[in-house]
Amino acid sequence: MTAPAQTAPAAPADTPVSVRDHAPRRWEAVVEAVLPPVVALLVALVVGDLLILSFGQSPAAVYRLLLEGTWGNPYGIGQVLYKATTLTFTGLAVAVGIRAGLFNIGAEGQLAAGGFAAAVPGVLRARFGAHEVITTIMLNFVVLALLGWIVSARLHVPESLHTPEIRSGAVPRLSDIFPVFHGSAANLTLLLALLVAAGVGWYLFRTKRGYELRAVGLQPDAAEYGGVEVGSVRWRALTLSGALAGLGGVNFVLGYKHYYEDGFAAGSGFLGIAVALVGRNNPFGVVVAALLFATLSQGGLAVNALVPKQMVEVLQAVVILAVATAVPAVKLALRSGAHDRKRAMSTGSGVGR
């Protein structure tokens, strides 16, 4: 007599569905969060190899120089951490806005102003329906021009474009605690950035207002039907977004130069958009993405002896495009795999009966 075919034991009938499904869903969430950046890095490396070869250089030599100039010495590490600090603030600023369904691209001006006009776009959106993309990008130029006039006309040191030195409230540098970082601009604002990232994560995923913010971002009509004041949420989101970007100014003014200098933002606000997108608008992801872009930025200076530093800017663009492409591909693969597993489990259960 032929023995009956054996099948994998099914979960007990009295096992709650949430328990049976929790582990696979958690694994899918981890894969969906980790895989797109990994794919993006691999694509960027391939494109980088081709670019380096086009300049007649060895990819291995260029990447070795990049790593040695960033994570290979204390000064490089300090510079990466310094740049990552500002990018963490601007990345969080953009991420909070996107979570609320708003695209704040005014972080450059908000960073320079230190939150001077942080709440204005929110008021314009809530009261008059003015689109935040238009108001925030235009306010960049308004704020930068206003601050440039104030500094040049009233506050500047003669024959310069910066204010007098501000010693009150100066943030200690890492080199004051760890002498090995001597010469680096890294300072304890880094700890503030990490605390703020943790606070934003708690606010978004552990509080009622954070839930309302995410609900408005996903489906504003449904959120409003559920009793959420959409205009108020958007105003708060853009205010918080602008304030986060403004905190990035602490890194330069109080932690590094100890004075305000015209043009100090140098594109960090706009690069924060890329940081938020690559970090998937998650505070932890934003910190990791900030480190990545800071490494590429500092690495561009290190490899300039072999290849133009603009090559690193191309790699940054490739990373962004690769992440944008990888995210939907990963989601599609995960959904397809989940569907196949459910169908296999359903078939197995039928055989067992």
Quick one: angle between helices 74-99 and 59-70, nearest 10? Answer: 90
Query: What pLDDT is stored for residue 115 in this prediction?
Result: 37
* Spatial contact of 265 and 112, defined as CB atoms under 8 Å apart: yes
List the chain domain ranges.
Answer: 86-278
Lookup: tokens for 196: 């703020």
Query: What pLDDT is stored for residue 2 in this prediction?
Result: 46
Say which range, 15-24, 69-78, 286-295, has the weakest mean pLDDT: 15-24
Q: Is the pLDDT of residue 33 over 80?
A: no
Query: What pLDDT is stored for residue 5 in this prediction?
Result: 46
Q: Is the pLDDT of residue 20 over 60?
A: no
Q: Is the pLDDT of residue 216 over 90?
A: yes
Query: What pLDDT is stored for residue 94 in this prediction?
Result: 92
Query: What pLDDT is stored for residue 82 in this prediction?
Result: 95
- Name the β-bridge partners of 162: 261
Lookup: tokens for 111: 């960073």
Question: In the predicted model, what is the mean pLDDT of residues 191-209?
Answer: 95
Give residue 347's pLDDT band: very low, low, confident or very high (50, 70, 90).
Answer: confident
Query: What pLDDT is stored for residue 48 in this prediction?
Result: 87
Give residue 65's pLDDT band: very low, low, confident or very high (50, 70, 90).
Answer: very high
Query: What pLDDT is stored for residue 175 in this prediction?
Result: 93
Q: Over the stretch 222-231, which tens digit does the pLDDT of each residue have? A: 999 999 999 9
Residue 105: phi and psi, rounded to 5, are -110, 30
Separation CA 125–CA 67 (nearest Å): 44
Separation CA 89–CA 268 (nearest Å): 10
* Spatial contact of 87 and 293, defined as CB atoms under 8 Å apart: yes
Say which range, 22-31, 112-121, 189-198, 285-294, has the weakest mean pLDDT: 112-121
Question: Residues near 271 by Cβ (< 8 Å), separated by ≥ 6?
Answer: 87, 90, 293, 297, 316
Select, from the ranges 22-26, 44-48, 178-182, the one with the highest average predicted confidence (pLDDT). Answer: 178-182
Select, from the ranges 139-153, 264-278, 294-308, the one with the highest average predicted confidence (pLDDT). Answer: 294-308
Query: What pLDDT is stored for residue 149 in this prediction?
Result: 66
Query: What pLDDT is stored for residue 243 in this prediction?
Result: 84
Please indicate whether residue 216 or residue 348 has the higher confidence score (pLDDT). Answer: 216
Please indicate whether residue 349 or residue 283 has the higher confidence score (pLDDT). Answer: 283
Q: For residue 107, which of 117, 94, 119, 97 has the smallest C-alpha distance?
A: 94
Q: What is the mean pLDDT of the chain?
A: 79
